[in-house]
Every structure is written in structure tokens, then in C-alpha cells.
Amino acid sequence: MPREPEPARLWINCLLAVCAGVVAFGLVLVLAPALARQGFSWLVYAAPERIDAFGPEPVRYIALAHAVIGGVMIGWGAALFHVTRSLLARGSKVAWNLIALSVVAWYLPDTTYSLLSGFWQNAVLNTCFLLLFAVPLWALRSTVRNDA
């Protein structure tokens, strides 16, 4: 019986790197709140000190929000890394669907709210993350097979 081909290693490695990047981004949000705040301040206001001018109470709340988002990103990235390494690397269509579904389920509400609330810059950042996932997923689409 011929063995089914495994998905292209290059694209699996790309997805693993993207998942590790999601974890790293989450870690920055949790462990480096000043850096995260300055980064988003620069992204949204083109001035790294702008959010700090909101005052100490709002800045503390923003740090909390970033830490919560970062924790979720760490968990999501770790789960996607494991699914990619253990299941998608063996050609699991269920794994491919899980990854694609979770990315779309994050992207649509986050980006829609960003646009509706006037923070288009976050929508651009989201779209960059989406493309980092979409390119390898698209490349792998024909290599996955139905799971038994």
C-alpha cells in the first residue's frame, strides 16, 4: 500500500514559526507592558508616549487589558503550535480546519470592531497576522487528507 505524502515541511515550519510568533507577541504584552503600550501608541497615534498621557489609572487598565490579551494569545499560539506539529504535519484535514477556523474566528470580529471603532491601524496589523497564517495554509490545502 503506497504511503500518503506528508505536507511540505517548508510550510509546516512556516506555520510553526507563525505560531511561535503569536506566543512571543503574547509574551511581550504580558512581560513588557511599557513596550507594548508604546508600540500600540505608536501604531495608533504615531506617538509612542501618547497613551502614557492618558494618566496613571487608564494606563494601568490598558496594561491589564494587554496582559489578558497576551495570555489568550500565548494559549492560542501554543495550541496552534501543537496542532500544527502533531497533526497537521501528518496531513490531518481536521487540523487544517481547526487552524483555519480559529484564525478566521479571531480575525473577523477583531478586525470588524477595529474598523467600526475607527482604529484601522489594528485592522492592518490583524491583516498582516492573517496573511502569515493564510499563505502556508493555502499552500498546504492540497496536501491534507480526510482523517479516518
Number of domains the chain is built from: 1
Question: Cell numbers of 100, please?
Answer: 483555519
What pLDDT, on the 0 to 100 scale, is given for residue 135? 97
In a domain, 32, yes or no: yes
In a domain, 1, yes or no: no
What pLDDT, on the 0 to 100 scale, is given for residue 109? 98
In a domain, 121, yes or no: yes
What pLDDT, on the 0 to 100 scale, is given for residue 147? 73
In a domain, 68, yes or no: yes
3-state SS, residue 59: helix
In a domain, 148, yes or no: no
Spatial distance between the Cα atoms of 23 and 20, rounded to a whole number of angstroms: 5
The answer to whether 123 and 114 are in contact (CB under 8 A) is: yes
Q: List the domain range (segments joined by +) for residue 67.
A: 9-140
**Per-residue pLDDT tens digits of the chain, which is 148 residues long:** 545 456 699 999 999 999 999 999 999 999 999 999 999 999 999 999 999 999 999 999 999 999 999 999 999 999 999 999 999 999 999 999 999 999 999 999 999 999 999 999 999 999 999 999 999 999 999 999 887 5
The answer to whether 68 and 27 are in contact (CB under 8 A) is: no
Continuous segment of H or E residues that includes residue 139: helix 120-140
